[in-house]
Amino acid sequence: MLTSENKIMIHEPDFFRECGACKRVIGYPEAIREALQLAMQNDRRVFIMGQGVDDPYGMFGATKDLHREFGRERVFDTPLSEGALTGISVGAALAGMRPVYFHNRPDFLLLAMDQLVNHAAKWSYMFGGAVHVPMVVWACIGRGWGSAAQHSQALQGLFMHIPGLKLLMPSTCHDAKGLMLAAIDDENPVLIIDHRLNFNTTGLVPSGPYTVPIGRGIVRRPGRDVTVVAVSHLVTDAFHAAQDVSSQGIEAEIIDPRTLRPLDEELILASVAKTGRLIIADCGWKTGGVTAEIGALVAEKGFAYLKAPIMRLASPDLPTPAAGNLEEAFYVGRNDIRKAMIEIVR
């Protein structure tokens, strides 16, 4: 496992970003930690719970030492009982608190599906908007150290299916902080699924509080020949792949949805209308996943724009292997996106 002591930090690409004149560079875990710190300073209703939030590494650095600053009544470790603890989060949110529950791995969210799907996501609807469940659940996809079939699952396609549950997947340090603050402020349950590879990056982040709007994507790189909608860390891979093929006269437009539910359909359709070609890249499974939903969206509402069939890059419909060489073959990356760009244009 990478720790704060041995990880190699990689600076984010020179994205077209919403940071303005900001010149302050910090790491991805520091950006999340700063968001949590600001939220807890500004609102005593906010508290953090989860397995390992108060350990020496503090959830890969995202919650490091917050229990020392705010006390163990507001930042505390939890038992191995994800269903029960998610229920406690739902109850606390209904009672006026704003819990942030760190589940660590998305795999463990499966143990809390009843609370997330049948309770958190439905209460506001069932009571006509008279009650709200303002809670944040955070989980982190991992790869690269043999976590295998039960600790590497990218389940965003599953959670994208659930009405009433907002789903965020940041790709930059700037958005990691801004989306966390937006999620804590939101009156609805919000699930943030992060990727461990993002934790190896640094980026431009303003020091004060700010929010990134939920439901709004962003163009990370403008282009004319092909639209690439990439999710989470694959935004960076897509950006580099676009730089690779630009020498061949191919200009790819990179779209970072940032939010999978609600999805910024207008941004995606506008880009496809300009380029006429679409590649979708996601680290989850292909069947019934994020690439399927976005592909269906464009087929239904933007079919007339298309000059070529939609291309989907996703993990095969198999459990994640443990061996490093098999894991490398399993996941989509920069090379796959580059090859797809060349193929779809030519």
Q: Which residue has the tokens 């779809």?
A: 344
Same domain (yes/no): 239, 284: yes
Catalytic, out of 67, 119, 151, 174: 151
Same domain (yes/no): 169, 235: no
* Domain final residue, candidates 204, 230, 261: 204
Position 212 in a domain = no
CA gap 101, 88 in Å, rounded: 10
Q: Which residues contact 328 (CB under 8 A, 6 or more apart)?
A: none
Domain count, the chain: 2
Position 1 in a domain = no
Contact 12, 203 (CB under 8 A): yes
**Residue-by-residue DSSP string for 162-191:** -TT-EEE---SHHHHHHHHHHHHH-SS-EE
Position 56 in a domain = yes
Give the dihedral sign, CA 140/264/166/71: positive
pTM more than 0.85 = yes
* Domain final residue, candidates 204, 227, 252: 204
Domain interval for residue 84: 10-204
Q: Could you tell me the CATH number of the domain that includes residue 91?
A: 3.40.50.970
pLDDT tens, residue order, the chain (346 aa): 333 334 456 677 766 455 666 789 999 999 999 999 999 999 999 999 999 999 988 999 999 999 999 999 999 999 999 999 999 999 999 999 999 999 888 899 999 999 999 999 999 999 999 999 999 999 998 776 778 898 889 999 999 999 999 999 999 999 999 999 999 999 999 999 999 999 999 999 999 999 999 999 999 999 999 999 999 999 999 999 999 999 999 999 999 999 999 999 999 999 999 999 999 999 999 999 999 999 999 999 999 999 999 999 999 999 999 998 898 899 999 999 999 999 999 8
Q: Which residues contact 248 (CB under 8 A, 6 or more apart)?
A: 342
Q: Does residue 151 carry a catalytic annotation?
A: yes
Same domain (yes/no): 30, 62: yes
Same domain (yes/no): 280, 150: no
Position 3 in a domain = no
Residue 19: which region, alpha, beta or left (left: phi > 0; alpha: psi -120 to 50)? alpha
Position 4 in a domain = no
Closest CA to 226 of 264, 266, 262, 268: 268
Same domain (yes/no): 27, 54: yes
